[in-house]
Amino acid sequence: MDTWTPDLIRASKGKQFLPALTTYDYPMTRMLDELGIPMLLVGDSLGMVVLGYPDTTHVTMEDMIHHIRAAARAKPKACLVGDMPYQSYETSEQAVRNARRLVEAGAQAVKLEGGHDIGMQIRAIRNAGIPCVGHLGMLPQHILEEGSYKIKGRRENERRQLLEDAAFLETVGVCALVIELVEPNLSQKITSVTSAPTIGIGSGPHCDGQILVTHDLVGSFPWFRPKFVKPRLQATRQMQDAVRTWRCDEDGLYKQNHHSKPSPAS
Ligand code: KIV
Protein backbone atom coordinates (compact mmCIF):
# COMPACT_ATOMS: atom_id res chain seq x y z
CA MET A 1 0.00 0.00 0.00
CA ASP A 2 1.28 3.50 -0.92
CA THR A 3 2.55 5.95 1.64
CA TRP A 4 0.99 9.31 0.87
CA THR A 5 2.93 12.54 1.32
CA PRO A 6 1.63 16.05 0.57
CA ASP A 7 3.75 16.04 -2.63
CA LEU A 8 2.16 12.78 -3.78
CA ILE A 9 -1.28 14.16 -3.02
CA ARG A 10 -0.53 17.15 -5.23
CA ALA A 11 0.98 14.97 -7.97
CA SER A 12 -2.12 12.74 -8.08
CA LYS A 13 -4.06 15.42 -9.99
CA GLY A 14 -5.46 13.97 -13.21
CA LYS A 15 -4.08 10.50 -12.44
CA GLN A 16 -6.56 9.07 -9.99
CA PHE A 17 -9.63 9.82 -7.91
CA LEU A 18 -8.65 11.19 -4.49
CA PRO A 19 -10.89 10.00 -1.66
CA ALA A 20 -10.43 11.69 1.71
CA LEU A 21 -12.18 11.31 5.06
CA THR A 22 -12.06 12.87 8.48
CA THR A 23 -10.55 11.04 11.42
CA TYR A 24 -10.35 11.99 15.06
CA ASP A 25 -8.68 9.19 17.01
CA TYR A 26 -6.47 6.10 16.93
CA PRO A 27 -8.94 3.28 16.05
CA MET A 28 -10.70 5.36 13.41
CA THR A 29 -7.37 6.24 11.79
CA ARG A 30 -6.22 2.61 11.81
CA MET A 31 -9.51 1.44 10.35
CA LEU A 32 -9.54 4.03 7.54
CA ASP A 33 -5.84 3.60 6.83
CA GLU A 34 -6.27 -0.14 6.39
CA LEU A 35 -8.60 0.79 3.50
CA GLY A 36 -5.88 2.82 1.79
CA ILE A 37 -7.63 6.21 1.93
CA PRO A 38 -4.92 8.64 0.68
CA MET A 39 -5.77 11.64 2.84
CA LEU A 40 -7.10 11.66 6.39
CA LEU A 41 -8.10 14.98 7.91
CA VAL A 42 -8.26 15.60 11.62
CA GLY A 43 -10.96 18.17 10.94
CA ASP A 44 -12.25 20.74 13.36
CA SER A 45 -15.64 19.14 12.65
CA LEU A 46 -14.58 17.09 15.67
CA GLY A 47 -16.04 20.01 17.64
CA MET A 48 -19.52 18.88 16.64
CA VAL A 49 -19.30 15.13 16.06
CA VAL A 50 -16.97 14.28 18.96
CA LEU A 51 -16.96 17.14 21.48
CA GLY A 52 -20.61 18.22 21.37
CA TYR A 53 -20.08 21.88 20.46
CA PRO A 54 -22.70 23.61 18.28
CA ASP A 55 -20.14 24.60 15.62
CA THR A 56 -16.40 24.63 14.91
CA THR A 57 -15.74 28.05 16.45
CA HIS A 58 -15.36 26.46 19.90
CA VAL A 59 -12.49 24.16 18.92
CA THR A 60 -9.12 25.07 20.44
CA MET A 61 -5.51 24.34 19.54
CA GLU A 62 -5.38 22.00 22.55
CA ASP A 63 -8.38 20.03 21.17
CA MET A 64 -6.69 19.73 17.78
CA ILE A 65 -3.33 18.70 19.22
CA HIS A 66 -4.94 16.06 21.44
CA HIS A 67 -6.81 14.48 18.50
CA ILE A 68 -3.95 14.78 15.97
CA ARG A 69 -1.66 13.00 18.45
CA ALA A 70 -4.19 10.19 18.84
CA ALA A 71 -4.60 9.82 15.05
CA ALA A 72 -0.84 9.96 14.47
CA ARG A 73 -0.27 7.08 16.93
CA ALA A 74 -1.84 4.84 14.26
CA LYS A 75 1.16 5.73 12.03
CA PRO A 76 -1.05 6.02 8.94
CA LYS A 77 0.27 5.61 5.43
CA ALA A 78 -2.28 8.25 4.52
CA CYS A 79 -1.28 11.89 4.45
CA LEU A 80 -2.48 13.13 7.85
CA VAL A 81 -3.77 16.70 7.66
CA GLY A 82 -4.62 18.79 10.72
CA ASP A 83 -7.12 21.64 10.72
CA MET A 84 -5.98 25.00 12.05
CA PRO A 85 -8.83 25.89 14.43
CA TYR A 86 -10.81 29.15 14.67
CA GLN A 87 -8.70 32.22 15.46
CA SER A 88 -5.46 30.24 15.51
CA TYR A 89 -4.11 32.06 12.41
CA GLU A 90 -4.98 35.70 12.93
CA THR A 91 -1.42 36.91 12.22
CA SER A 92 1.50 35.40 10.29
CA GLU A 93 3.50 34.79 13.46
CA GLN A 94 0.61 33.09 15.23
CA ALA A 95 -0.16 31.04 12.12
CA VAL A 96 3.41 29.72 11.82
CA ARG A 97 3.68 29.01 15.54
CA ASN A 98 0.41 27.08 15.61
CA ALA A 99 1.04 25.25 12.32
CA ARG A 100 4.36 24.04 13.80
CA ARG A 101 2.52 22.76 16.89
CA LEU A 102 0.15 20.71 14.70
CA VAL A 103 3.10 19.29 12.77
CA GLU A 104 4.86 18.41 16.05
CA ALA A 105 1.66 16.61 17.08
CA GLY A 106 1.89 14.46 13.94
CA ALA A 107 0.20 16.30 11.04
CA GLN A 108 2.01 16.26 7.70
CA ALA A 109 0.07 19.26 6.43
CA VAL A 110 -2.27 21.86 7.87
CA LYS A 111 -5.56 23.12 6.47
CA LEU A 112 -6.72 26.72 6.71
CA GLU A 113 -10.04 28.24 5.66
CA GLY A 114 -9.87 31.17 3.23
CA GLY A 115 -8.10 32.71 0.23
CA HIS A 116 -6.75 36.25 -0.16
CA ASP A 117 -8.13 37.14 3.29
CA ILE A 118 -5.56 34.80 4.92
CA GLY A 119 -2.90 35.43 2.24
CA MET A 120 -0.12 36.56 4.59
CA GLN A 121 -0.72 33.75 7.04
CA ILE A 122 -0.77 30.95 4.47
CA ARG A 123 2.32 32.35 2.70
CA ALA A 124 4.15 32.52 6.03
CA ILE A 125 3.30 28.88 6.78
CA ARG A 126 4.44 27.79 3.31
CA ASN A 127 7.67 29.84 3.71
CA ALA A 128 8.28 27.96 6.97
CA GLY A 129 8.28 24.78 4.85
CA ILE A 130 4.94 23.44 6.09
CA PRO A 131 2.61 21.90 3.47
CA CYS A 132 -0.87 23.43 3.34
CA VAL A 133 -4.30 22.35 2.17
CA GLY A 134 -6.61 25.20 1.12
CA HIS A 135 -10.33 25.40 1.92
CA LEU A 136 -12.75 27.59 -0.07
CA GLY A 137 -16.50 27.91 -0.46
CA MET A 138 -18.73 27.69 2.60
CA LEU A 139 -16.28 28.11 5.46
CA PRO A 140 -17.62 26.60 8.70
CA GLN A 141 -15.39 28.85 10.83
CA HIS A 142 -17.44 31.79 9.44
CA ILE A 143 -20.77 30.31 10.53
CA LEU A 144 -21.42 33.06 13.09
CA GLU A 145 -21.34 35.78 10.36
CA GLU A 146 -23.04 33.56 7.75
CA GLY A 147 -25.89 32.35 9.98
CA SER A 148 -26.33 29.07 8.07
CA TYR A 149 -24.48 26.62 5.80
CA LYS A 150 -25.26 27.73 2.24
CA ILE A 151 -24.14 27.07 -1.32
CA LYS A 152 -21.46 29.47 -2.57
CA GLY A 153 -20.80 30.63 -6.13
CA ARG A 154 -24.33 31.28 -7.33
CA ARG A 155 -23.78 35.03 -7.48
CA GLU A 156 -21.34 36.55 -9.96
CA ASN A 157 -19.26 38.35 -7.30
CA GLU A 158 -18.89 35.12 -5.30
CA ARG A 159 -17.93 33.24 -8.47
CA ARG A 160 -15.23 35.74 -9.33
CA GLN A 161 -13.90 35.80 -5.76
CA LEU A 162 -13.74 32.00 -5.56
CA LEU A 163 -11.88 31.75 -8.88
CA GLU A 164 -9.41 34.43 -7.75
CA ASP A 165 -8.92 32.74 -4.38
CA ALA A 166 -8.34 29.35 -6.03
CA ALA A 167 -5.74 30.92 -8.36
CA PHE A 168 -4.09 32.60 -5.37
CA LEU A 169 -3.90 29.36 -3.36
CA GLU A 170 -2.34 27.70 -6.38
CA THR A 171 0.44 30.31 -6.42
CA VAL A 172 1.02 29.69 -2.71
CA GLY A 173 1.52 26.01 -3.55
CA VAL A 174 -1.25 24.26 -1.63
CA CYS A 175 -1.03 20.48 -2.01
CA ALA A 176 -4.83 20.17 -2.31
CA LEU A 177 -7.86 22.41 -2.22
CA VAL A 178 -11.04 21.51 -0.32
CA ILE A 179 -14.08 23.15 -1.89
CA GLU A 180 -17.13 23.04 0.33
CA LEU A 181 -20.74 23.66 -0.77
CA VAL A 182 -19.69 25.30 -4.04
CA GLU A 183 -22.11 25.41 -6.97
CA PRO A 184 -21.19 22.34 -9.10
CA ASN A 185 -20.48 24.18 -12.40
CA LEU A 186 -18.12 26.48 -10.56
CA SER A 187 -16.38 23.62 -8.74
CA GLN A 188 -15.91 21.98 -12.17
CA LYS A 189 -14.38 25.23 -13.48
CA ILE A 190 -12.07 25.56 -10.45
CA THR A 191 -11.02 21.93 -10.91
CA SER A 192 -10.19 22.51 -14.57
CA VAL A 193 -8.08 25.65 -14.01
CA THR A 194 -6.23 24.67 -10.81
CA SER A 195 -3.13 22.49 -10.79
CA ALA A 196 -3.74 21.33 -7.21
CA PRO A 197 -6.29 18.52 -6.80
CA THR A 198 -9.69 19.80 -5.69
CA ILE A 199 -11.46 17.80 -3.00
CA GLY A 200 -15.17 18.50 -2.95
CA ILE A 201 -17.70 18.30 -0.18
CA GLY A 202 -21.26 19.00 -1.23
CA SER A 203 -19.85 20.59 -4.42
CA GLY A 204 -20.96 18.16 -7.10
CA PRO A 205 -19.22 15.28 -8.86
CA HIS A 206 -16.56 17.11 -10.91
CA CYS A 207 -13.80 17.52 -8.33
CA ASP A 208 -10.56 15.49 -8.36
CA GLY A 209 -11.53 13.95 -5.03
CA GLN A 210 -14.28 13.93 -2.44
CA ILE A 211 -14.21 14.29 1.33
CA LEU A 212 -16.84 13.58 3.96
CA VAL A 213 -17.08 13.74 7.70
CA THR A 214 -16.76 10.02 8.44
CA HIS A 215 -19.51 10.19 11.08
CA ASP A 216 -21.93 11.41 8.37
CA LEU A 217 -20.90 8.59 6.03
CA VAL A 218 -21.44 5.82 8.58
CA GLY A 219 -24.36 7.32 10.50
CA SER A 220 -22.54 7.69 13.80
CA PHE A 221 -23.84 11.23 14.38
CA PRO A 222 -27.48 10.86 13.31
CA TRP A 223 -28.69 13.95 15.17
CA PHE A 224 -27.47 16.21 12.37
CA ARG A 225 -26.60 15.18 8.82
CA PRO A 226 -25.92 17.50 5.87
CA LYS A 227 -28.45 17.07 3.04
CA PHE A 228 -25.85 16.06 0.46
CA VAL A 229 -24.63 13.00 2.41
CA LYS A 230 -26.05 9.56 1.79
CA PRO A 231 -25.06 7.46 4.82
CA ARG A 232 -23.86 3.94 3.93
CA LEU A 233 -24.46 2.58 7.41
CA GLN A 234 -26.59 3.44 10.43
CA ALA A 235 -23.84 2.90 12.98
CA THR A 236 -25.58 4.54 15.93
CA ARG A 237 -28.78 2.60 15.28
CA GLN A 238 -26.86 -0.68 14.96
CA MET A 239 -24.95 0.02 18.16
CA GLN A 240 -28.20 0.81 19.95
CA ASP A 241 -29.63 -2.50 18.66
CA ALA A 242 -26.56 -4.33 20.02
CA VAL A 243 -26.91 -2.64 23.43
CA ARG A 244 -30.65 -3.41 23.54
CA THR A 245 -30.04 -7.10 22.71
CA TRP A 246 -27.25 -7.36 25.29
CA ARG A 247 -29.40 -5.73 27.97
CA CYS A 248 -32.33 -7.98 27.20
CA ASP A 249 -30.14 -11.15 27.26
CA GLU A 250 -28.49 -10.17 30.55
CA ASP A 251 -31.86 -9.25 32.04
CA GLY A 252 -33.17 -12.73 31.09
CA LEU A 253 -30.16 -14.44 32.70
CA TYR A 254 -30.50 -12.35 35.85
CA LYS A 255 -34.17 -13.30 36.21
CA GLN A 256 -33.43 -16.98 35.59
CA ASN A 257 -30.71 -17.02 38.27
CA HIS A 258 -32.67 -15.04 40.80
CA HIS A 259 -35.90 -16.99 40.43
CA SER A 260 -34.33 -20.42 40.57
CA LYS A 261 -32.28 -19.70 43.73
CA PRO A 262 -33.92 -19.15 47.10
CA SER A 263 -33.13 -15.69 48.38
CA PRO A 264 -30.66 -15.62 51.35
CA ALA A 265 -33.36 -14.20 53.64
CA SER A 266 -35.85 -17.09 53.14
O1 KIV B 1 -13.50 19.97 9.61
C2 KIV B 1 -13.77 19.23 8.67
O3 KIV B 1 -14.16 18.08 8.86
C4 KIV B 1 -13.60 19.75 7.32
C5 KIV B 1 -14.03 18.88 6.19
C6 KIV B 1 -15.39 18.42 6.21
C7 KIV B 1 -13.64 19.41 4.87
O8 KIV B 1 -13.12 20.82 7.16
Domain of 227, CATH number, reads: 3.20.20.60
Question: How far is the C-alpha of 199 from the C-alpha of 204, rounded, in Å?
Answer: 10
Residue 249 lies in a domain: no
Question: How far is the C-alpha of 174 from the C-alpha of 168, rounded, in Å?
Answer: 10
Question: How far is the C-alpha of 129 from the C-alpha of 123, rounded, in Å?
Answer: 10
For each of the chain's 266 residues, which pLDDT tens digit applies? 689 999 999 999 999 999 999 999 999 999 999 999 999 999 999 999 999 999 999 999 999 999 999 999 999 999 999 999 999 999 999 999 999 999 999 999 999 999 999 999 999 999 999 999 999 999 999 999 999 899 999 999 999 999 999 999 999 999 999 999 999 999 999 999 999 999 999 999 999 999 999 999 999 999 999 999 999 999 999 999 999 999 999 999 999 999 766 666 65
pLDDT tens for residues 189-213? 999 999 999 999 999 999 999 999 9
Residue 13 lies in a domain: yes
Q: Which atom of ligand 1 is nearest to the CA of 212?
A: 6
45 lines ligand 1 (CB under 6 A): yes
The domain in which residue 123 lies consists of 6-234
Residue 251 lies in a domain: no
Phi-psi region of 173 (alpha: psi -120 to 50; beta: other; left: phi over 0): left
Residue 140 lies in a domain: yes
The count of domains in the chain is 1
Residue 18 lies in a domain: yes
* Whether 4 contacts 79, CB under 8 Å: yes
- What pTM did the predictor assign? 0.95
- Residue with the smallest CA separation from ligand 1 atom 2 is 43
Residue 86 lies in a domain: yes
Question: What are residue 80's phi and psi, to 5 degrees?
Answer: -90, 120
What is the SS3 assignment for 15? coil
What is the SS3 assignment for 262? coil
Residue 2 pLDDT: 85
CA dihedral over 122, 70, 4, 204, signed as positive or negative: negative
Residue 28 lies in a domain: yes
**Which sequence positions are flagged as catalytic?**
180
Mutate to test the pocket of ligand 1, among 18, 21, 22, 214 (most ligand atoms within 8 A of CB): 22
* Whether 110 contacts 135, CB under 8 Å: no
Residue 246 lies in a domain: no
